[in-house]
Amino acid sequence: QVQLIESGGGVVQAGGSLRLSCTLSGRSFSNYAMAWYRQALGQEREFVAGVGFTGRATTLADPVKGRFTISRDNRKNTVYLQMNSLKPEDTAVYYCAAGNSFYTSSTDYPPDYGSWGQGTQVTVSS
């Protein structure tokens, strides 16, 4: 059974940075493509970023392109989301997900991607 534990959320001022981490246990990390989603209060969960099995390929949602970077370290069973130039509209609960597929288009990522972590809150103040 896959278990995902996120960390790194918090409160930051607009323009600041945060790095989220997510560690997978229970299965072989390199067998999964990984992704980050987020859900703002009262809104549906949306795709943010995805990374392929080796880390060479990544996909970003349009609202975060140029500001967010996703990466993974298969030796540490961990995926990261580096968030720079944060905006108040980035405020949400961020979820890590492990899936069987990597997509080159952000619109191909389904809302029920795979196994999910418990989420970590990111709050950006103006």
Helix, strand and coil in the chain, % to nearest 5 = 10, 50, 40
**pLDDT at residue 36, rounded to an integer:** 98
Burial of 1 (0-12, 13-18, 19+ CB in 10 A): exposed
**pLDDT at residue 5, rounded to an integer:** 96
Contact 31, 53 (CB under 8 A): yes
**pLDDT at residue 23, rounded to an integer:** 98
Low-confidence residues of the chain: pLDDT under 50 = none
* DSSP per-residue string spanning 39-87: E-TTS--EEEEEE-SSSS-EEE-GGGTTTEEEEEETTTTEEEEEE-S--
Q: Whole-angstrom distance between the N-terminal and C-terminal Cα of the chain?
A: 40
